[in-house]
A and B are shown apart, each in its own frame.
Chain A
Amino acid sequence: MKSATSISPLRTALAAFIALPFLFPFIFLIGTAMRTGADYAANPGGMPRQFTFEHLAHAWTEANLDRALFVSLAMSFIACLVCLGAALPAAFWFRMNRGRGAGILRNTLIGGYAIPMIVWLIPLFVILSRMGLTGNYVVAGVLNGVASVPFAIYFLYTYFLLVVSDDMLDASALDGAGANQRFLRIGVPMAGPAIASIMALVFVWTSGEILIAATLLQSNPESFSLPLAATTLTTRQSVNLQGQAAAALVSLAPVILIFALAQRHLVAGFGGMSEK
């Protein structure tokens, strides 16, 4: 019998074969975006022979992607702050209070996750338009942050259940620490890895979000996020397939960078969904 630890060439080959559909779209995309127009026209489905940065540069300036990159980063940063500011203390409060009433409140707040974004966004759009607050990426950042609060409460609460014991809470209570002090002395220092995961997830979700962007930011091109700028560019008649590919490629670059930097935290965050 084969040992459970010996490498199976068949299994490895199968895993590599399954990886192809995940790699090919990006290889095709790079090929389409970085070939010269003449090379692409001669053989759209073949191997690229002549390369150019022309389409990338054109997409970058046409869609004002440097501004969009700044907006996306600022919006994601605001969303992280809002989400963490609301969810972290709440999750710790739920860890301290595990009675029936607190349980109902916890499930209600986590249940907010199931409210479709379009359902709450429409009335907010109406109200924000009256207040002249559409086309404002700070508002969009705040809304993105609140949209992630239900998941963040669930995630951080589950984490606190694992790392903060009842004994720890009781001991600090005996020392005379109030709820707020316990949050600052126990909750914040112990939540480090979970905070990193939530920040990485909220950052990725917000920078890729399109519904809030398409609804609230459409009126002001200066507040276009990266996905909105890229998709708006591609609706123009003048932009061909190579231009579309270039816009997509340029927009993917920051996400791939974040993925490389925060892979471990993202994986931990997505893994946390399994308990959901």
Chain B
Amino acid sequence: MMRSGLWLIIPAIFAEMVVLFAPMAYVGLRSFYDWQPVGTSVWVGLDNYRILLQDPEFWQIVRNQAFYLLGLPLWVICPMVVAYLLKDRVWRAGLFRAIYFLPAVMSPAIVGLVFRTLLATDGTVNAALHNAGLEALIQPWLTDQDLVKPVVIVMVLWAGFGTGVLIFTSAFQSIPRDVLEAARLDGAGFWQEFLLIAVPAVRHTIILWTMFQVVAIFLFMFGWIYVLTGGGPGLASATMDFSIYQQFIRFGFFGTAAAQSVLLVLMIVAVPLLGWLLSLVLRLWRTPTSGVTRLLPEEATR
């Protein structure tokens, strides 16, 4: 059976092998060499990894990456609450969802450019704050070591918020209406309804969206950092992918760039493991005696 129509699958296998998997394996191999793309590469064993792990700049980037993960509660909770808020009794909820969703279709590079213009020290935001008499709030948003990472976290929230709202909206739609109506008849308010019924019912979507956001922090930050901050000030906002790009394209440290690529892949492999552990914890949280889960039919809790 599997042999029939094999030509249907061959283009995808070929494309992914040539473009994604084989180059990744090649980088893995080259991480053990003093890689010189246009000369002779010499085998150096684990030296590239040793150099990297002893380099304070590498650890600064790992710390940045970890700092960005602090944005997770914000990136998950904000769209979830707003999706629930928009679920009913809001005039033109679809229009608001479309407005929130607009950044999702825009290039991070171009949006980065927009915010670089707005947040520049002499940019529009500071000028508007000055006009409003709020001089105390004027900040060098993108050039201050301590401010730049929180600013990036807020930018990521802004960019992903609409997609999150969309995804949680479709998840909330799977909760049976009669369960919510029964809760309302029992006098449950917005927050009780949200925390006791809605959140447990969509917890799998919460895990998936959380994991998607974590992976996105490793995979899709380049556009933002490249344009918005250039990794700076210093290395204060640099991410792994940006740093690998810099090492390779700008500085020509090919071997350590390859080793750093391997470490980035290992970090991404660790994410599903973490997600799995999280779902294990949540499974324990959902005990068989929980009133909430007994209220819901199986489809909604799955």
Contacts and interface: CB of A to CB of B under 8 A. Distances in A.
B227 interface: yes
7 contacts: A25-B114, A89-B7, A122-B261, A179-B5, A208-B109, A210-B109, A245-B114
A207 B107 contact: yes
B129 A115 contact: no
Interface stretch (B9-17, B43-51, B52-60, B291-299): B9-17
A142 to B, nearest CB: 8
B123 interface: yes
Question: What 5 A-B pairs come out closest when comparing CB atoms?
Answer: A179-B5, A208-B107, A45-B127, A45-B128, A90-B12
B1 A21 contact: no
B249 to A, nearest CB: 6
Contacts of B116: 234, 244
Contact of A15 (B86, B112, B130): B86
B232 to A, nearest CB: 14
A4 B175 CA distance: 15
Interface of B: 1-2, 4-9, 11-13, 15-16, 18-21, 23-24, 26-27, 30, 37, 82, 85-86, 88-93, 96, 98-110, 112-118, 120, 122-132, 158, 161-163, 166-167, 170-171, 180-181, 184-185, 205, 208-209, 212, 215, 218-219, 222-223, 226-227, 240-241, 244-245, 248-249, 257-258, 261, 264-265, 268-269
Given A4-B88, A86-B12, A231-B109, A270 B166 contact: yes
A252 B110 contact: yes
Contacts of A115: 20-21, 24, 265
Given A5-B89, A29-B117, A210 B108 contact: yes
A47 to B, nearest CB: 9
B117 to A, nearest CB: 5
A200 to B, nearest CB: 9
Contacts of A120: 19-20, 23-24, 27
Given A208-B109, A271-B166, A12 B208 contact: no
Contacts of A180: 5, 7-8
Residue among B12, B21, B227 with most chain A CB within 10 A = B12
A251 B90 contact: no
Contacts of A211: 222-223, 226, 241, 245
Contact of A210 (B104, B126, B222, B269): B222
Contacts of B92: 12
B21 A112 contact: yes
Interface of A: 1-2, 4-8, 11-12, 14-16, 18-19, 21-23, 25-26, 28-29, 31-32, 43-46, 82, 85-87, 89-90, 92-94, 96-97, 99, 101-102, 105, 109, 112, 114-124, 126, 129, 143, 146-147, 149-150, 153, 178-180, 182-183, 204, 207-211, 214-215, 226-228, 230-231, 234, 241, 244-245, 247-248, 251-252, 255, 258-259, 263, 266-267, 270-271, 273-276
Residue among B99, B185, B257 with most chain A CB within 10 A = B99
B96 A97 contact: no
Given A230-B110, A270-B101, A90 B11 contact: yes
A32 B128 CA distance: 12
A202 B158 CA distance: 21
Nearest to B97: A267
Contact of A122 (B90, B209, B257): B257
Contacts of A94: 9
Contacts of B226: 210-211, 214, 231
A273 B101 CA distance: 14
A181 to B, nearest CB: 9
B113 A230 contact: yes
B105 A255 contact: yes
Contacts of B37: 126, 129
B212 A109 contact: no
Contacts of A226: 107, 110
Nearest to B92: A12
A226 B227 CA distance: 14
A126 B132 CA distance: 52
B85 A15 contact: yes
Residue among B85, B91, B114, B219 with most chain A CB within 10 A = B114
B100 A19 contact: yes
Contact of B167 (A26, A118, A178, A270): A270
Contacts of B99: 19, 22-23
Contact of A28 (B90, B124, B181): B124
Nearest to B130: A45
Contacts of A143: 19
B24 A25 contact: no
A117 B219 contact: yes
Contact of A208 (B23, B101, B106, B114): B106
B110 A208 contact: yes
B8 A89 contact: yes
